[in-house]
Amino acid sequence: MKGLIALLSITILITACSQNTNRQEFAKAENASPAPAVTPKQSAAGMKLTKPTELLPEITEKYSGIKIEAVNKNDGSKIEITAPFGQKIPIGSTGLEITTSSYFTSFTMVDGGVKNVSMEESNPAAKVIITDNGSQLFDGWLFQEYPDMHPFEHPVWKVVLAGAVKK
């Protein structure tokens, strides 16, 4: 019983102390000056911080689109297509269509966004929109090296990034 009372006392003390800290931090935040305007940032490799739907000139100089593979979950059959940047195209006879809005050869997440840290194909990723009869089913990133990270979910088809199409 004494142990339970001691544990309860410590919990109350910690809660009380942390509430005071939170109030002080909140008051500081209220009195702080507004955040400065965000300007494009550069990576060590000189690549700027981008919006996910932006195609970098360095990418479009070297690549014209991406390679997509659609795997039928029921029978294992595969459909491979080339998806040019910015164009909505059918994924074979699946009834699905894909639009590629961005491609990074070396995708990384940073505070405030995403960026391509180099032109070396170390972590290829493509920002795509997948639709079915005009209804958007997916708007996200497909990762070539990590196809199960934030995958496209569909009852029949698994759509993965298979690579990029060089010019």
pLDDT tens-digit series, residues 92-125:
999 999 999 999 999 998 887 888 999 999 999 9
Output b/e per residue, 86-115; b: 16+ Cβ within 10 A. Answer: eeeeebeebebbbbbbbbbbbbeeeeeebb
pLDDT score of 17: 43
DSSP H/E element including 132: strand 125-132
The token pair at 34 is 């507004």
Question: pTM for the full model?
Answer: 0.68
Mean pLDDT to the nearest integer, 5-27: 45
Measured from the Cβ of residue 127, the count of other Cβ atoms closer than 10 Å reads: 21
CA–CA gap between residue 2 and residue 7 (Å, rounded): 9
Residues contacting 12, CB < 8 A, separation 6+: none
